[in-house]
Amino acid sequence: MMPGSTKNEAMVSLVLNIRDGDSHASFSLEAEPHRTVLDLLERLRAGGGVVPAYRHSCHHGSCGTCGAIINGLEALMCLTTAGDLASARPRLPGGPAVEPETDGQGAVVVTLEPLARMDVISGIAVVPGRVFAGIPGEAVYLAAVENAGRSPLPADPEGARAEGGCKPDAAVWRPAGRVRFEACIECGLCVSACPVAVPFIGPAALAAVNREREKRPETAAAMLALAAAPDGVGPCGRHLACSRVCPQAVYPGKHIQMLRNALGAAARHAAGMSAD
């Protein structure tokens, strides 16, 4: 559903059931199909409704705060529209798309639950500590971008640095040339969806570990040690729920496989060395 498409849209009737402690707070409303779940919560709250607490910040899928389990499936509330919910949609990661459940009046029933495996602050707002716990503190969030046929970016003229006397800190590593942020927005949808039940640093952290290894070869040994630890790649059962719910196409499952491959290569290399 394209947000912003406005003309002649049929309104969608929704019943929103939002987790609040042991029960749900329920709201019935009519929504334009392009409105997001987050828009609707904001509208309810501005209208004086007592809406259970929820997290949000950027409203465009960048900050990673607004994850929730929406009708059984982890998703970002700011990118899930009323139109999406009125259409067939999986009820669990990788499940078949099923028609929406409706109540007696034909309104689409939408249940919002907090992300799993995280402490609930209130309502559906969680502390995403588990997402961050395994991400190496030194992992760099910027990545270098190829020029891809474009000229290199112009260097900063000296004046842009001298004024204010603020040279970038030499101790902080940063890629040269064009830079972009990592695709992972640290939303934790993958962590919530992952069925592994033993100690495990989880898909988001392992994706960050692999990216760090790729970007900065000097960290490779330390990163592979994290991957080889008992809570590293070992517990992953290749369920791929992580890759299915990731809103950023990070494919954490792919990164876990790359770490396994690198660990295997390192082990073969070590065996070869000792055979000499």
Partner 1 sequence: MFDPTIPTRHPGRVCIIGGGGTGAALAYDLALRGFSVTLLEKGELTSGTTGRHHGQLHSGARYAVGDRAIARECMEETLVLRRIVPDAIEYNGGVFAALSDDEADYAPAFIEACQEAGIPAREVPVAEACSWEPALNPAATRTVWVPDGSFDAFRLPLSFFAAAKRLGAEIRPFAEAVGVEASGGHVRAVLVRQAGSIRDERIECDYVVSATGAWAGVVGKLAGLDVPVTPAPGTMVAVRGRVSDMVISRLAPPGDGDIIVSQRGLSIIGTTQRIVDNPDGILPVDEDVAFMLARADELAPGFSSRAVHAVWAAARPLAGRTSGDGRNISRDFMVLDHAPEGVAGMATLIGGKATVLRAMAEKAADHVCRALGVLEPCRTRDFVLPSWRDWYAEVLP
**Residue that is written with structure tokens 């969806």 in the block:** 193
Q: Label the pairing between strands 12-20 and 108-113.
A: parallel
Is residue 248 within the footprint of ligand SF4 (CB under 6 A)? yes
Reading the block at residue 85, the tokens are 């919910």
Within positions 16 to 35, which residues make up the interface with partner 1, using CB under 8 A? 21, 34-35
Within positions 75 to 134, which residues make up the interface with ligand FES, using CB under 6 A? 76, 78
Are 198 and 111 spatial neighbours (Cβ–Cβ below 8 Å)? no
Is residue 163 within the footprint of partner 1 (CB under 8 A)? yes
Within positions 193 to 212, which residues make up the interface with ligand FES, using CB under 6 A? none
Give the residue, chosen from 24, 43, 56, 178, that forms a contact with ligand FES under the rule CB under 6 A.
56
The 218-247 site mask, x for binding ligand SF4 (CB under 6 A), equals ---------------------------xx-
Q: At residue 152, what is the residue type?
A: P
Are 68 and 75 spatial neighbours (Cβ–Cβ below 8 Å)? yes
Provide the minimum distance between the beta carbon of 117 and ligand SF4 in the complex, in angstroms, as a whole number.
12
Among residues 57 and 122, whose Cβ is nearest to ligand FES? 57
Give the residue, chosen from 33, 123, 203, 232, that forms a contact with partner 1 under the rule CB under 8 A.
123
Please tell me the distance from the alpha carbon of residue 2 to that of residue 165, in angstroms, as a whole number.
46
Residues 6+ apart with CB under 8 A from 131: 118, 186, 187, 188, 191, 202, 204, 205
Within positions 183 to 222, which residues make up the interface with ligand SF4, using CB under 6 A? 184-190, 203-204, 207
Give the residue, chosen from 3, 61, 136, 235, that forms a contact with ligand FES under the rule CB under 6 A.
61
Provide the minimum distance between the beta carbon of 4 and partner 1 in the complex, in angstroms, as a whole number.
4
Within positions 91 to 120, which residues make up the interface with partner 1, using CB under 8 A? 119
**Residue that is written with structure tokens 């002649």 in the block:** 8
Is residue 63 within the footprint of ligand FES (CB under 6 A)? yes
b/e code 164-173 from CB counts within 10 Å (16+ = b): eeeeeeeeee
Evaluate the CA torsion angle 23, 25, 28, 31 in order and state its sign. negative
The 39-58 site mask, x for binding partner 1 (CB under 8 A), equals x--xx-xxx----xxxxxxx
Phi-psi region of 94 (alpha: psi -120 to 50; beta: other; left: phi over 0): left
Binding residues (CB under 6 A) for ligand FES: these are 56-59, 61-66, 76, 78
